[in-house]
Structure 1
Amino acid sequence: MGAQLAGKGGGGRGKRRGYRAMAEINMTPFIDVMLVLLIVFMVAAPLLTVGVPVDLPKTNAAPLEAQKDPLFVTVQADGTIFVQEQRVDRAGLVPLLTAITNANAEARILVRGDARIAYGTMLEVMGTMSAAGFKKVGLVAELPNTPAKR
């Protein structure tokens, strides 16, 4: 009896589908930002290691195992001494090391000496530390194929 005039549905009025909110999170922009940050930090991390510039001698000896917070004493080519990054004279070396290590004779101290420095100067610095009771005093060198870090 009744006739259908328009569309598939009844009553001449078509049903429109409305847009529903998408319940998924688009992860692509998040991943892109994380990858960019990863690259930025990978490039910036080596630049954060600050030290006193010194031309280290080359050696083929195997590197020692990494330790927690080594204490560096640097002797530059002109004989200037640094503890970490603080300049110190030879007379103030032992009191400063004693204060930093809390008088711990077992604290590991690594000496970085310029390749052009006189051998006697290095022995004087190391002898001063040994005479003060520091037992773990070592030398730092670079592998022959490693470029110098400045």
Structure 2
Amino acid sequence: MSGFGPKVKKNLKAEINVVPFIDVMLVLLVVFMIAAPMMTQGIKVDLPKAAAEPVDTKDDEPITVSVKKDGGFYIESGGEGLGGSRDTARPLHEIKDIVGKILAAKPNTLVFVQGDRSVNYGVIVELMGELKAAGAPSVGLLTDPPSH
């Protein structure tokens, strides 16, 4: 019975085999590389053209231009009307002139647009374009938070 010799103990190795881990990570990398472009696609919409950039919040006293249901433009800063009463509707070229003068004195002043829900989208975009042409470094849209 030569097969039943003395038992030889093998030394155990405490090593982790990382090859399966690398294989799994490479498969996940390929899956995310394929899936990421699909997640960023959206519905194609023909949007109006306007020069707009993201808003930087640096100034304390922004200018707010409001558009009411009737299409009238109103301008205020710090709760006060600019160049007259804040309840007086003004033509778009006058709003552009007022904003241009303020921005000439304070170039980093923020300009916000507050439009009524029923106002035509094109009117808001036209206003934003005029504000950018007046020299506004950024134009932001004001909204109400959703109610749950």
User: If the length of structure 2 is used for normalisation, what is the TM-score?
Assistant: 0.49
The alignment's TM-score, normalised by the length of structure 1, stands at 0.49
Which is greater in Rg? 1
